[in-house]
Amino acid sequence: MHMRTTRLGITILGGLLAATAPQSPAVADAALEAVRASVRLHGGGESGTGFLVAVPDGGPLLLVSAAHTFAGIDGPTCTIVGRLPAAGGGFERREVVVPVRAEKKPLWRRHPSLDVAVMPVSLPEEIAAAAFPLSRLATEADFDSGKVRVGQRVRVACFPAQVEANAAGWPVLRTGSIASHPLLPAAKLERFFVDYSNFGGDSGAAVVAEPIIEAGSPLVVGVVVAMQRQTDRTTSPFEETVRHTPLGLAISVPSPRLLEVIEKRDPKP
């Protein structure tokens, strides 16, 4: 019996979960920011989660996801599923086709050693308004100062198992907690665990932490890239059985490593 990991591949699911108890503004903001910034991206049999980040210099919107999600999209374009306000109220599903390759060269830029990537995108303004401001991404200083810590409650908006929450294409909002300790020093941190019920298709989802203090703001502290699982093999003279058991732990790349990619936004394989 041994442990192994597997990448989170295909996605969809969705739905805004109604709160059943009063929430502080900061807690409500963490939930709403997570679902509004998250989109589904799919193409060529691959489907995953992504989220939008707006840079302060007026540059193009950035679509963040797992690098393997971008790489798994076969062809020059992918489809992004977002939402637009509908006539008479509510929202309607909107699919937008965006390029992912030019002359077979990737338009996304990935981390040199970790499974996270960013790509500039152009989307309708109503969808673009949902982006996280760059200032919402937790820095090394945020980790080192204790704003990000073990046991902290997080929200993950994602599209597990190719299921969208509703006809408007919203993601499913999951709740979990940071399961790794210590998270220091942040300069050397390459991954941490998030304890929540994750599935294939969650890859690329933002891990949004509720603030430690009431006056704080929600922070994007990581990107879900893989699922931790246990693999058991049973061998008999005539057959071998392999069973994979998910442990309910998502492997996440910390946001400071994502910032390293964003700081060099020109596309590069």
Q: How confident is the model at residue 20 (pLDDT cuts 50, 70, 90)?
A: very low
pTM confidence score:
0.85
Q: Please report the pLDDT score of residue 247 as a whole number.
A: 85
At residue 32, φ and ψ (nearest 5 deg) are: -70, -40
Residue 194 clears pLDDT 60, i.e. is over it: yes
Averaged pLDDT, 213-230: 87
Query: 42: phi > 0 → left, psi -120 to 50 → alpha, else beta; which?
Result: beta
List, for residues 35-47, the tens digit of each pLDDT value. Answer: 999 999 999 889 9
Q: What is the CATH number of domain 2-262?
A: 2.40.10.10
Q: Please report the pLDDT score of residue 26 as a whole number.
A: 60
Compute how many other C-beta atoms are within 10 angstroms of the C-beta atom of residue 120. 18
List, for residues 225-267, the tens digit of each pLDDT value. Answer: 998 866 778 888 888 888 877 788 999 999 999 999 998 855 5
List, for residues 80-119, the tens digit of each pLDDT value. Answer: 999 999 988 999 999 999 999 999 999 999 999 999 999 9
Q: Please report the pLDDT score of residue 18 as a whole number.
A: 33
Do 109 and 119 touch, CB atoms closer than 8 A?
yes
3-state secondary structure of 212: coil
Tokens representing 246 are 């998910």
Q: How confident is the model at residue 6 (pLDDT cuts 50, 70, 90)?
A: very low
Q: How confident is the model at residue 180 (pLDDT cuts 50, 70, 90)?
A: very high
Please classify residue 59 by burial: count the beta carbons closer than 10 Å to its beta carbon, then call 0-12 exposed, 13-18 middle and 19+ buried: exposed
Give the residue extent of every domain in the chain: 2-262
Do 252 and 192 touch, CB atoms closer than 8 A?
yes
Average pLDDT, the chain: 87
